[in-house]
Amino acid sequence: MNLSTSPASEPYCPAPLTLERAWPHDPARDFCEARDRGHTLRRALFGGLAALALLLSAWQFGNAAWIHAKAILAQHLIEQAWARKLAGEPHPRPWPWADTWPLAHLSVPRLALARHILAGADGRTIAFGPGHVHGTALPGTPGNVAIGAHRDTHFAFLRELREGDLLELAHAPGRTTTYSVRTTRIVDKREVAVLAQDGTGNRLTLITCYPFDAIDPSGPLRYVVTAEEIAAPAAPGGRPVPPRAAAARSGARLVRSRGPGAETPASATA
């Protein structure tokens, strides 16, 4: 029988017979069977790896979707808790096992954004929103109110703040303290002077990690925004002056921009 070889060096592999030992032992057939087993093993291996990659991708997508959904739900529950606080509840927990609650509501009119401020600034709390730093003045009380949050989520807007921007901190029904941004600076995380209660005036200090686009969030630098309270002088007749009018009187001149009703400090238009 003529066993011609395939191209190059691989021997010709005839189709297997249905009867065992239809012909004597043949080295060429042994080679073909070993090669077929190798092909089958490689196909199984590649198929398994592809299935594993697909499962990992599905898990990552599902995990990301779950985190996003959880964040949306948390903000909805925090919003409801803030409404309960405005109704008079002292410590309205957003969910039964929460160890935090909304203390205040921060608004930035020029950027048209707002953030709920939670009690405490530990890792669990600031995962859901900016947190009040324990040991600093409480919102609505004299002193330095310090608030911290993550640079890539709730405090990503800090890089957009400019000198003269107004920050409105609501802390009780009908009670809002207005601040004007005075400085932005980068400090070492060990510089605790930014939290000092030195009696030099009422101010708001916003803190986040720096740089904003760093891959490693545990770097040694912090980005600090300091804003001073704007006193609201009484208008003729004893009525309080609206915060933005008070800002204009204090030197933070406002000009119209970005459409009707939007105001921005003149220093920010340069």
The domain segmentation of the chain, as residue ranges, is 30-98, 99-269
Question: What is residue 116's predicted lDDT score, i.e. its pLDDT?
Answer: 97
| pLDDT value of position 264 | 32
- Say whether 197 sits in a helix, a strand or coil: coil
Confidence at residue 170, expressed as pLDDT on a 0 to 100 scale: 97
Phi, psi of 68 (to 5 degrees): -65, -45
Rounded to an integer, what distance in angstroms lies between the CA atom of residue 235 and that of residue 233?
6
Which run of H or E residues covers position 210? Answer: strand 203-210
**What letter represents residue 154's amino acid?**
H
| Residue 104 main-chain phi, psi, to 5 deg | -155, 175
Q: For residues 172 and 26, what is the distance between their CA atoms, to the nearest angstrom?
A: 92
Distances (CA, A) of 80 to 74, 123, 124: 10, 22, 19
**Contact between 184 and 171 (Cβ < 8 Å):** no
Digit-by-digit pLDDT tens for the chain (270 residues) are 454 444 555 555 555 555 445 555 556 566 666 666 666 777 777 777 777 777 777 766 666 566 567 778 888 999 999 999 999 999 999 999 999 999 999 999 999 999 999 999 999 999 999 999 999 999 999 999 999 999 989 999 999 999 999 999 999 989 999 999 999 999 999 999 999 998 878 999 999 999 998 888 788 999 999 999 997 655 555 555 555 555 554 454 343 333 333 333 333 323
Q: CA-CA distance, 80 to 82, in Å (whole number)? A: 5
**The model's pTM:** 0.67
Q: For the domain bounded by 99-269, which CATH number is listed?
A: 2.40.260.10
Residues in CB range of 112: below 8 A, 6 or more apart: 262
| Through-space distance between the first and last CA atoms of the chain, rounded to whole angstroms | 94
For residue 241, which phi and psi values (nearest 5 degrees)?
Answer: -80, 135
Report pLDDT for 207.
Answer: 97
Task: Report the C-alpha gap between 14 and 61 in whole angstroms.
Answer: 48
Can you tell me which residue has the tokens 């760093």? 214
Give which of 150, 163, 133 is closest to 208, Cα–Cα.
150
pLDDT for position 254: 40
pLDDT given at position 56: 74
- What is residue 67's predicted lDDT score, i.e. its pLDDT? 59
24: amino acid identity, one letter? P
